[in-house]
């Protein structure tokens, strides 16, 4: 089960962590692998949190298409596509494209079984 860590950090903090991770790897110190998204803007973090139900619905229901997901969630397809694009740009959702009866079907996939928030009180 892949784990996603979501945080809000400055660019300097992200760079320092990446530098430390590279040093640790060179010294043979490996930590549990995970994927982390560090937002530098609170507005992007809020957009993520506001739409986290989309990720949960994909993980839980495993819809065969974005259209099917829109029906499950009761969301307009065009609005849902904007959210899907946002998450796809962050590499949180993968889209598998297939052909069915001459139509292109886009299947959203979430590969994370756990989402952890790592936030500092400011």
Q: Give residue-wise pLDDT tens across range 48-70.
A: 999 999 999 999 999 999 999 99
Contact 84, 107 (CB under 8 A): no
Confidence band, pLDDT 50/70/90 cuts, at residue 3: confident
Q: Return the minimum-mean-pLDDT range out of 10-24, 45-59, 71-85, 93-107.
A: 10-24
Residue 88 three-state SS: helix
Q: With left for phi above 0 and alpha for psi between -120 and 50, is residue 34 left, alpha or beta?
A: beta
**pTM of structure:** 0.77
Q: In angstroms, how far is CA 88 from the centroid of its own chain?
A: 7
Structural domain span for residue 64: 2-118
Reported as a single tens digit per residue, the pLDDT across 5-27 is: 888 877 676 667 667 766 766 77
Average model confidence (pLDDT) for the chain? 86
Domain count across the chain = 1
């Amino acid at each position: 089960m892949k784990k996603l860590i979501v945080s809000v950090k400055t660019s300097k903090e992200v760079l320092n962590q990446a530098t430390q991770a590279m040093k640790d790897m060179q010294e043979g110190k490996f930590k549990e692998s995970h994927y982390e998204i560090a937002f530098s803007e609170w507005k992007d973090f809020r957009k993520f949190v506001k739409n986290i139900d989309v990720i949960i619905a994909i993980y839980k229901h495993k819809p065969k298409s974005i259209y099917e997901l829109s029906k499950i969630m009761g969301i307009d397809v065009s609005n849902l596509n904007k959210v899907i694009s946002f998450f796809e740009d962050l590499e949180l959702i993968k889209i598998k494209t297939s052909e069915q009866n001459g139509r292109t079907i886009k299947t959203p996939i979430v590969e994370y079984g756990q989402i952890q928030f790592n936030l500092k009180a400011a």
